[in-house]
Structure 1
Amino acid sequence: MNAPHLQVDLLAVPKAVPELRHVVRGYLGDRCPEVQLCVSELLGNVIRHVGEGTPVRVRLSRVAQGRTRVEVTDPDPRALPVLLSTTGDDEYGRGLVLLDAVALRWGVEQGSASKTVWCEVGEA
């Protein structure tokens, strides 16, 4: 992988989500709503499925063809994201559906002591 252009270490807590969006906007400029959505959903998934207060590392880098790669690494290699089918009445489960809709591609890299959920977003 390319060297990260932006790397942020933080605790996965609800107040970190808007703060992270602000950092991303400051780094990429105003034309990054898809990237902001992806970091919000990936951080929200850590909060909901791994636990509030989990230490995470968020990395943004430019990759081939003008894409931005977003990576969120947490210390739980077992809590893997699952793309669910949702209905209009479901309160949860739309995060990866949104990510899947705006990202060109996404996936998970699982290590022995951590996992990284990543996605690539095209230029706005």
Structure 2
Amino acid sequence: MDCIAGMPRKPWDLPFVAEPKEVAGLRRIMRLHLGLWGLHEVIDAAQLCVSELVSNVIHHVGAGTPTTLAVSMNGTHVRIEVRDPDARALPTLFEAATEAESGRGMALVNAVADRWGVQPYADHKVTWCELATGLTSTHGHLGGARIARAEVLLGLYGTATLPQAARLSPLTTAVAEGAVTALIADLLHWVRAHGGDADEALDRAQRRYEAGTSCEGAGPS
């Protein structure tokens, strides 16, 4: 299971009726879910793909078509699928004329996605695309080794200290920030209990943090 800050990246799908008024809501849902997954860098491209794939259904199958949006992780890629009941109206990639009002949909998807395709079945078809996330592994995290280590530690610490009810659902941002604060405080208590200077340890951590942010992309010291 792919996780970030204790939040599972579980596949999800959403049935809807393909109407122009639904597109804005689908874009908001994509932003929300990809934000929770920690994949902020692909939100704009994912929203564009959803808009174009749904518009393709509206224009070539018909407004009011029962449709389903499905989103999942395929390795390090986000996979977006739009399913509709017409297996005959297959989207085609072609270069639309500059003055054309339509026909650019799949060209836009082709431009931002790593790959896309159509899977026809007996009673429906799936038009899909996949976007690179920048993750280095299926279970990886954006932000480098420091962020990955922090998220692993925070996940363990949060699970151990949150109430049982909170363990049953993903950590919200506010709860996660509270866990970070509590973890830092406990580490400072540990330093003091072992004869160290908690204030000096905090100062050193602050200097290391500032050095890391000023040299983004550098390895841990």
Common fold by TM > 0.5: yes
* Higher RCO (CA < 8 A, seq sep 6+): 1
- TM-score, length basis structure 2: 0.53
Higher helix share: 2
1:22-61 maps to which residues of 2 (within 5 A)?
22-29=28-35, 30-31=40-41, 32-61=43-72
1:105 aligned residue = 115
Q: CA RMSD in A?
A: 1.1
Q: Which has the higher strand share?
A: 1
Q: What's the secondary structure of 1:90's corresponding residue?
A: coil
Q: Which residue of structure 2 aligns with residue 79 of structure 1?
A: 89
In structure 2, which of residues 103, 106, 118 is the aligned counterpart of residue 93 of structure 1?
103
2:110 partner amino acid: D
Q: CA deviation at 1:105?
A: 0.5
SS of 1:15 mapped into structure 2: helix
Count of equivalent residues: 120
% same residue: 44
Pick the structure with greater CA Rg: 2
Q: 1:44-68 deviations in whole A, cap 9, x for unaligned? A: 000000000000111000111x210
- In the aligned structure 2, how far is the partner of 1:89 from the partner of 1:72? 27
Unaligned runs of 5+ in 2: 1-9, 135-221
Counterpart among 6, 14, 17 of residue 8 in structure 1 = 14
Partner of 2:174: none
